[in-house]
Homo-oligomer: A and B are copies of this chain.
Amino acid sequence: MSTTTRPTGRTTGVDLSVDLGGLVLPNPIMTASGCFASGREIDALWNVSELGAVVAKSVTLEPREGLPTPRMSETPSGMLNAIGLQNPGVDAWLERDVPWLASRGARVVASIAGNSVDDYREVARRVAASRSVAAVEVNLSCPNVSHRGLVFACDPGRSAEVVRAVRQALPDRPLFAKLTPDVTDIARIGRSVVEAGATGISAINTTLGMAIDAETGRPKVANGFAGLSGPAIRPMAVRAVHQLFTELGPEVPIIGMGGVRTVTDVVEMVRAGASAVAIGTATFADPFTAANLVRDLGPWLGRRGHTALADLRGRIEPWPHHPR
């Protein structure tokens, strides 16, 4: 049997490399946090070092068992999930998964979570000790226990506080603040985290949703509220990325995500303003998605005469009037 061979974008002469505020990647395809487990699962199918970078599942200070099942429900062109940040804890992750990812040659981005500013700071401090972690993503979509459980990312001030704490604990690594779309003004949150020291932005996390079984009356996800992801939310994600790009300008790198599945979805996200693109839910529908995108993106651009992906970032063309 022929194991799939994967020409990289480079063989087509198209430059797919991206520079995320110092984090230089051979191509823009990343994994979305929580959608790639430890990396070993997918490496059983294809070589995960082909990715631009692996963004790991969010880790917390202590291990977490997460929420009861059912944890997911399919929705029209999307899915709801409420996992509850099940994770082995930052120490186990650093000990077991990071060295393995590094040994495979993958570029590793940590994703960190917590329920207080101190949590985030302490997780960041431990991550800082590992030279194999190339960058950190701060998952701000966590309930803040000292603020009535309000999610950090919903408030520009609290978001900035977390980012400042992480920045202090981890001064030497690119830092991405991951934002939720469930706010009145995402650009404002973006501005405040960049001012607090974030290198760039990751957007978007899932949007809050709910589904109820008409028949039984039970919420389809045991937790009741759950995060909506997948192609259904892509228009929201493209909009949010474009708003952030417009607000923050081309100097601030953006990792765009939300419903990306195809090469044209990747290009759409880049045109909206993303520097790199992360793949989440699409991996569930087809675990080869990210590998196929790495393979196909260069040729797609090459056939259209593009020489570098970066040239397309933020490039939206006006509608011409009718020729007459």
Interface residues of A (CB under 8 A from B): 68, 75-78, 80, 154-155, 182-185, 207-219, 222, 224-226, 228, 230-236, 238-239, 242, 259, 263-265, 267-268, 271-272, 304, 312, 315-319
Complex interface: chain B residues within 8 A of A235 (CB)? 75, 78, 80, 209-211, 226, 228
- Listed by A's residue number, 20 A-B pairs whose Cβ atoms lie within 8 Å are A68-B319, A76-B77, A76-B232, A76-B234, A77-B232, A183-B184, A184-B184, A207-B236, A210-B238, A212-B271, A213-B268, A214-B268, A215-B264, A215-B304, A217-B271, A217-B315, A218-B316, A225-B239, A228-B235, A232-B233
Complex interface: chain B residues within 8 A of A263 (CB)? 214
In the bound complex, how far is the Cα of B216 from the Cα of A304, in angstroms?
11
In the bound complex, how far is the Cα of B212 from the Cα of A207, in angstroms?
21
Complex interface: chain B residues within 8 A of A226 (CB)? 235
Residue in B210, B222, B315 whose CB lies within 8 Å of A319: B222
In the bound complex, how far is the Cα of B319 from the Cα of A222, in angstroms?
7
In the bound complex, how far is the Cα of B263 from the Cα of A222, in angstroms?
23
Q: Which residue of B lies closest to A180 (CB)?
A: B184
Are B319 and A218 interface neighbours, CB within 8 A? yes
* Contacts A182-B184, A228-B235 given; does A316 touch B76 at CB 8 Å: no
In the bound complex, how far is the Cα of B211 from the Cα of A239, in angstroms?
8
Are A217 and B75 interface neighbours, CB within 8 A? no
Q: Which of A235, A238, A316 has the most CB of B within 10 A?
A: A235
Q: Which residue of B lies closest to A270 (CB)?
A: B214
Complex interface: chain B residues within 8 A of A312 (CB)? 217
Complex interface: chain B residues within 8 A of A319 (CB)? 68, 218-219, 222
Are B208 and A236 interface neighbours, CB within 8 A? yes
Q: Which residue of B lies closest to A211 (CB)?
A: B235
Complex interface: chain B residues within 8 A of A211 (CB)? 234-235, 238, 268
Complex interface: chain B residues within 8 A of A185 (CB)? 154
